[in-house]
Chains A and B, each alone.
Chain A
């Protein structure tokens, strides 16, 4: 079933700001183009007058050779279609766009990313440093005229592979015999590295002098990138006053695998297995988000049976994600292993299903544009029924018995603030963390995609926004997912599993599309720009984890260092998605 394309023209900005805002008239595009100098004024009006309180994505697009564009996607937390507005600037350095950090604080890290990878300077941003790469790196990699060291051709498939594909290592083609690129006449011995000096400089602003002019000693503690509780290669530079956190800067990019750049070289289909490796717990959800974005652009329907299969797989992956979340959270809190081991047992059974239908436990690569790659065999459907009717409900109860009332856990979690509703929305936090703060914003209801509108389920909400609610909402969501699954496996219709013929070259008309889904970690969105060629012109992932950590500093300041690990655990970050 097709969801109606979200019309953004429900709001007419051109009447409110004549001469400043114009409708985007390019074929395949929607939204408004805002004059650069009035951006802050317009954005404030969009937030306050029109009620688009959640800025989900800030995306830089390089329209080589003449323009640079920054695209903003704003939504209402009450649901409904979004608003796309954009700024266009000539592609001549310095490329400057006013920062929206004071209107939407959630733009913070995304603007830093656009500066890092695109070289768009956001004037007024208080801490515009590189984020995914390191200070001192040469160039802005996502610009179309920047070529990586192993650059071969603008688009895949590469000509060297066939018909005369003699095996050559990529290293042999590079002048430095490795994945390296240095400016001409570079002398490594004369180089002075940054050594995180700029990071420590920004932390210095938290230094305070008391009334007597005494500067209290503050300690900077680096947690990560190698730390057992940071869920991967996450690093936080934390400034401490005694045991209290007074300043914190997340340092990311240790797993920056150049997803966007590789995605622009790939054909549309080739990106599908790469999306598996974003949030590697939930490859099915990632597939779904990307498929929805491209299907919107191609304007093709999805086979009905396939839509049900997609929902089943996405919800199964949500269950196993939340199970692992609870297990890992308890690990972080010091309840080593027992809950995690119990969680992994159930996860294994769910992964068995993925392995049987898709072929791989983690990297499913299961969805195709218009459907799925192969049908669910009857014996697997039976297995799914076994799990969602018998085993998982019982095991969720067991989990609750094990943990939910445990006095030690409750006293550790209850009343420890994570985020309140207002801050969460301001910082563009989505997913369970937002819902645990009392905002019932779930894309499956707020902006339904696939066939979620056919199922009867509740959006799990908890009122307090403390750690206990953040834990409990995951259990609630498992129960709601089970409800959806029980309906889906009963209702699943027979029929074809793909509305299209299997093909490896899909025709995608020119235009842009923003496909978003409620991934287990929050809003996962793909912004895809096509110019009619087999490869996307721009392919941008708006990951939930990356945007959610914008609020980390706000969450942690004033708390004790011992709570940091738990607070970070609450956000449920995954580095593959965070760093891409």
Chain B
């Protein structure tokens, strides 16, 4: 019968149309909020998603997965009396591994001895070149450079980020990537205890 296929197709769109209302009603009946709640957003990105699929950014946001990467930032630890202890040692691995070469680092030198000290004087990332690949964060041995979750960074001018714009506290890192942070901290602790044990062992050996 001519037209059967069209009717079949129309039944699909028809079902889709009504499911938006049925879905909303079922949420209201069960006393849950489908919109502007985390539960609702989660539901809309699950296999059960039907009905309205839209996540109404900026009023609500998709759940950002831990590994999401946008642009990189530099981590500093908050020392006593608010001193910023930059984790970066200016080893330069990120600058070397960066595929489009958008990282510029000036290594600090001790003014007296002229020897390099592990801290960058200047650090630039040209965000108009950065390809968000995440290599810098992946290969940084000190967890000093991390990929950010914040994507609301559009501006009215070009974006070259300097140290001031790049630095963010470790607490922010913990907040956006709790699992990675915990793993890094555990690794760091393990390293420190191993170092201490080694030092103690060496001291004991020297003592005997």
Closest A residue, CB atoms, query B67 = A359
Is there an interface contact between B107 and A163, defined as CB atoms closer than 8 Å? yes
Interface size of A in residues (CB-CB distance below 8 Å): 54
Cα–Cα distance between A270 and B104 once the two chains are bound (Å) = 17
| Per-position 1/0 for B69-87, Cβ under 8 A of A | 1000000000000000000
Q: How distant is the Cα of A455 from the Cα of B53 in the complex, in angstroms?
A: 34
Task: List, in ascending order, chain B residues with CB within 8 A of A164's CB.
Answer: 106-107
In the assembled complex, the CB of B69 is this many whole angstroms from the nearest CB of chain A, namely 4
Could you say which of A269, A270, A355 contacts B65, with CB atoms under 8 Å apart? A355
* Partner among B2, B13, B103, B133 whose Cβ is within 8 Å of the Cβ of A365: B133
Q: Which of A17-25, A237-245, A386-394 has 4 or more CB atoms under 8 Å from chain B?
A: A386-394
Do B96 and A162 touch across chains, with their CB atoms under 8 A apart?
yes
Whether the Cβ atoms of B3 and A356 lie closer than 8 Å is: no
Q: Which residues of B contact A359 (CB under 8 A)?
A: 65, 67-69, 134, 147
Report A453 CB to chain B, min CB distance, Å.
30
Cβ A407 vs Cβ B93 within 8 A = no
| Stretch from A397-405, A429-437, A484-492 forming part of the interface with B | A397-405
A363, B105: Cβ atoms under 8 Å?
A: no
Q: Specify which chain B residues have a CB less than 8 angstroms from the CB of A158 in the assembled complex.
A: 101
**A403 to B9 Cα, complex, angstroms:** 6
Report whether B101 and A157 are in contact in the complex, using a CB–CB cutoff of 8 Å: yes
Is there a chain A Cβ closer than 8 Å to B11's Cβ? Answer: yes
The residue that B124 contacts in the complex, of A165, A391, A406, with Cβ under 8 A, is A165
| Interface window among B42-50, B187-195, B200-208 | B42-50
The total of chain B residues at the interface (CB under 8 A) is 48
Residues of B within 8 A of A357 (CB): 67
Q: Hey, what's the 0/1 contact readout for B127-157 against A, CB within 8 Å counting as 1?
A: 0000111110011000000010000000000
In the complex the two chains form, is A363's CB within 8 Å of B47's CB? no
From A164, which residue of chain B is reached at the shortest CB distance?
B106
- Provide the B99-134 mask, 1 if CB < 8 A to any CB of A, else 0: 101011111000000001000001010100001111
How near does chain A come to B90, taking the closest CB pair, in angstroms?
A: 7
A405 and B3 CA atoms in complex are apart in Å by 9
Q: Which residue of chain B has its CB nearest to the CB of A408?
A: B6
Q: A373: CB under 8 A from chain B?
A: yes
Residues on B with beta carbons closer than 8 Å to the beta carbon of A167? 104, 122, 124, 126, 160
Complex Cα distance, B90 from A553, in Å, reads 55
Contacts of B160 in A (CB 8 A): 167
Q: Of the candidates B8, B93, B131, which one forms a contact with A363 in the assembled complex, judged by CB atoms under 8 Å apart?
A: B131
Q: Which residue of A266, A390, A405 is within 8 Å of B47 (Cβ)? A: A390
Chain A residues near B139: list those with CB within 8 A: 502, 504
Which residues of A are in contact with B by a Cβ distance under 8 Å? 156-158, 160-167, 266, 269-274, 276-277, 338, 342, 345, 348-349, 352, 355-360, 363, 365, 373-374, 383, 386-387, 390-391, 398, 401-410, 502, 504
Q: Which residues of B contact A (CB under 8 A)?
A: 2-6, 8-9, 11-13, 16, 45-47, 49, 53, 65-69, 90, 92-93, 95-99, 101, 103-107, 116, 122, 124, 126, 131-135, 138-139, 147, 160
For the complex of A and B, list the 9 residue pairs with the smallest distance between their C-beta atoms, beginning with the closest: A405-B5, A273-B133, A165-B104, A162-B92, A163-B107, A270-B99, A386-B47, A356-B65, A157-B96
> What 6 additional pairs, Cβ within 8 angstroms, besides A160-B104, A405-B8?
A161-B98, A167-B126, A272-B133, A349-B47, A355-B65, A401-B9
